[in-house]
């Protein structure tokens, strides 16, 4: 069984992913991450199950899994996805349910990362040329600032005490720009730009988009509005 998928993958445009069923390593499924509408449905199911343990929840779960399947490898004799899913053992259903849910959401760590983006990239002190990555490399300051892009052994021994930087009451002991997850940031910025332009990656409304797209672009939109409001007050 392969269960090494990245939790909370930043998939804005619904990139398909492959999973192998734990009960049969010969069978592989290609799945699409859940839409925001289906993600909300799962949350509602989980809430109902927690309140009413005897509720029949698998029927809805199987439909959501079947809806997400694009391709089924090494399995034959089924006329449709739902028919295939309905004959799976409970462990497989649970496994697929977990994979779909985890791959479709934005993690709290990524939410924190996106919020930190604004604290760091909109801090006036960090807009100085000395904090530009190319300038820092030219001046050979990476070791002193504990740049995350260089090996740990190349950092100055006393970097954690000689270099500190405070942004919104959070203390960084290495360059705050280099510890950001740049792929996550770029995906979120792309999502925000699309939302701002009135463009949605998927056909339909917001409920048809990925949960990651909805939450990440909403965070970006909210923080930009907050910054604009602060600038007007100042």
- Could you tell me the CATH number of the domain that includes residue 80? 3.30.2220
- Give the best-scoring range by mean pLDDT among 46-55, 68-77, 120-129: 68-77
Answer yes or no: is pLDDT of 6 > 80.
no
Residues 23 and 99 in one domain: yes
In a domain, 194, yes or no: no
187 CB neighbour count, 10 Å cutoff: 23
SS3 29: strand
Q: Burial level of 82, CB count in 10 A (0-12/13-18/19+)?
A: middle
- The number of folded domains in the chain is 2
Final residue before a domain boundary, out of 134, 163, 180: 180
Q: Burial level of 63, CB count in 10 A (0-12/13-18/19+)?
A: middle
> Would you place residue 83 in the very low, low, confident or very high pLDDT band (cuts 50, 70, 90)?
very high
- pLDDT tens string 27-41: 889 888 888 898 888
Answer yes or no: is pLDDT of 84 > 90.
yes
Q: Are 136 and 147 in contact (CB under 8 A)?
A: yes
- pLDDT tens string 118-152: 777 666 666 666 667 788 888 888 887 778 778 87
In a domain, 205, yes or no: no
Predicted confidence at residue 157, as pLDDT, reads 74
Answer yes or no: is pLDDT of 17 > 70.
yes
Structural domain span for residue 172: 122-180
- pLDDT tens string 166-204: 776 777 777 777 767 777 777 777 777 887 788 888 888
How far lies 226's CA from each of 97, 107, 153, in Å?
36, 22, 40
The mean pLDDT value of the chain amounts to 77
Average pLDDT over residues 113-120: 74
Predicted confidence at residue 66, as pLDDT, reads 92
Average pLDDT over residues 59-74: 86
Residues 88 and 163 in one domain: no
Residues 83 and 40 in one domain: yes
């Amino acid at each position: 069984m392969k269960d090494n998928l990245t939790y909370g993958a930043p998939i804005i445009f619904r990139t398909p992913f492959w999973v192998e069923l734990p009960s049969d390593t010969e069978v592989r499924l290609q799945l699409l991450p859940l839409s925001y509408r289906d993600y909300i449905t799962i949350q509602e199911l989980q809430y109902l199950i927690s309140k009413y343990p005897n509720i029949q929840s698998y029927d809805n779960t199987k439909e959501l899994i079947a809806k997400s399947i694009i391709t089924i490898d090494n399995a034959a004799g089924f006329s449709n996805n739902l028919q295939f899913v309905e004959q799976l053992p409970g462990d497989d259903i649970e496994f697929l349910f977990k994979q779909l849910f985890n791959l479709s959401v934005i993690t709290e760590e990524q939410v924190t990362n996106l919020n930190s983006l604004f604290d760091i990239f909109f801090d006036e002190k960090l807009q100085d040329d000395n904090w530009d990555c190319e300038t820092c490399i030219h001046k050979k300051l990476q070791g002193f600032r504990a740049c995350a892009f260089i090996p740990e052994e190349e950092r100055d021994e006393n970097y954690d005490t000689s270099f500190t930087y405070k942004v919104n009451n959070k203390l960084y002991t290495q360059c705050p720009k280099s510890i950001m997850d740049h792929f996550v940031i770029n995906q979120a910025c792309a999502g925000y730009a699309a939302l701002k332009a009135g463009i949605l990656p998927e056909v339909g409304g917001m409920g048809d988009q990925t949960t990651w797209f909805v939450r990440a672009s909403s965070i970006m939109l909210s923080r930009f509005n907050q910054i604009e409001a602060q600038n007007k007050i100042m």
